[in-house]
Amino acid sequence: MRHLIRGRVLGFHADPADTADNHRYHPDGAVILADGRIEAVGDYADLRADGLPETDHRPHLILPGFIDPHIHFPQIQVIASWARQLLDWLNDYTFPAESEYADPVHATRMAGLFLDQMIAHGTTSAAAFCSVHKTSAEALFTAAEARNMAMIAGKVMMDRNAIPAVHDTAQASYDDSAALIRDWHGRGRLRYAITPRFAITSTPEQLDAAGALARENPACHIQTHLSENHDEIAYTLSLYPQARDYLDIYDQYGLLGPRSLMGHCLHLTPREIARMAETGCRAIFCPTSNLFLGSGLFDQAGLRAAGITTGIASDVGGGTSFSMLQTMAEGYKVQQMHRHRMHPFATFHWATRGNAIALGIEDRIGTLAPGSDADLVVLNARATPAMALRMERAETLAEELFVLQTMGDDRAVAETYVAGRAMKR
């Protein structure tokens, strides 16, 4: 069914860091949706047609839906849990909470609530970590399929250094992952990510199994964690004393490449940076998590200069908000600490087309290009009294975006479209 949505339409076709010709803005614009895809984008006067159903979102902004390239589905209930640092937080809160996802009833309930939170905050796609249990991945894929969401997900592989309730074995992790790939990868808008949680919780045998999965399924993503915290790095290297550095562990097992999503990447050595650039690994920035756990400051400009593609993510539940607006706000502040002042066009590009590029699926999501999937977010920069007061003095589109980024949250999301369907409840 064809449907026109009207509003102020903004989409990116290039990186603002590369060129001034990076976006198209239609002050009275329209997007025509047909069969879950974008048919046309332009001025409303050019696209309106008699008999074509319309939804009028004026004066709000219509953009591509936000994309979250690093988020933990089973951590929805451990957001805002106090701990000293990363390893304490995992042991005290995360692993016990994740143990509950062996129960398919619990996993099913939480999968629906998790995706509803994403949609409420304007996020239409994500790369998600499930728990160690096959049931958790099945629950998330089932819920995402019911909503027709473009999701990348995988059950974590972890066979040591956690409570027994969240352990598998090298063979079981291979078998369960292979079965999930067979059942879900490429089904509708779903993709699978081979997911060794991180080197601390995987034996060499399990990382070898992950490498085998990667060789056998080259179209799958790989997601894990890298160099988040100094204690984590030291512990990791004590477990793999033969490795030159943290990244080298994953390299030895064939886990590096353009579909490899490395969460955090805060304390990389020059050799690791060069190797990530050489292999095309993606570095995923998780600002609210990094600040909350006191892990460190991500150097976006430095990694970009080295040739590394980066993404920006919520990392719920170490991250403190599902909102990509809030994620952008904290990311901006972190980059300020590096004396790198990001323009609001750059941050909004990062959370849409930039994250789609990091995931390697910019041909389907992250832009308003005709033929791409109709995942959209409608933003209201006057959603709260404080925002409305500030907007009285905003004179440019860039100022409005910065208000949304700095002061916005789920209240600023007027609507979220997934494959052309209005989904915000």
CATH of domain 66-342: 3.20.20.140
User: Is residue 372 a contact partner of residue 363, using CB atoms and an 8 Å limit?
Assistant: yes
User: Is residue 207 a contact partner of residue 250, using CB atoms and an 8 Å limit?
Assistant: yes
Q: Which letter does DSSP use for residue 160 in this model? A: S
3-state secondary structure (DSSP) of residue 253? coil
The H or E element that residue 16 is part of is: none
Whole-angstrom CA distances from 116 to 141, 164, 250 are 14, 30, 34
The domain made up of 2-64+367-422 has a fold known as Urease, subunit C; domain 1 (2.30.40)
Beta bridge partners of 292: none
Supply 364's token pair.
């389907």
User: Is residue 308 a contact partner of residue 226, using CB atoms and an 8 Å limit?
Assistant: no
The per-residue pLDDT string of the chain (425 residues; one tens digit each, 9 = 90 and over) reads 899 999 999 999 999 999 999 999 999 999 999 999 999 999 999 999 999 999 999 999 999 999 999 999 999 999 888 877 777 888 888 999 999 999 999 999 999 999 999 999 999 999 999 999 999 999 999 999 999 999 999 999 999 999 999 999 999 999 999 999 999 999 999 999 999 999 999 999 999 999 999 999 999 999 999 999 999 999 999 999 999 999 999 999 999 999 999 999 999 999 999 999 999 999 999 999 999 999 999 999 999 999 999 999 999 989 999 999 999 999 999 999 999 999 999 999 999 999 999 999 999 999 999 999 999 999 999 999 999 999 999 999 999 999 999 999 999 999 999 999 999 97
The H or E element that residue 99 is part of is: helix 95-99
Give the domain ranges of the chain: 2-64+367-422, 66-342
Whole-angstrom CA distances from 341 to 145, 338, 391, 406, 415 are 39, 8, 22, 14, 30
Helix 324-337 / helix 397-407 crossing angle, nearest 10 deg: 100
Whether 2-64+367-422 shares its CATH topology with 66-342 is answered no
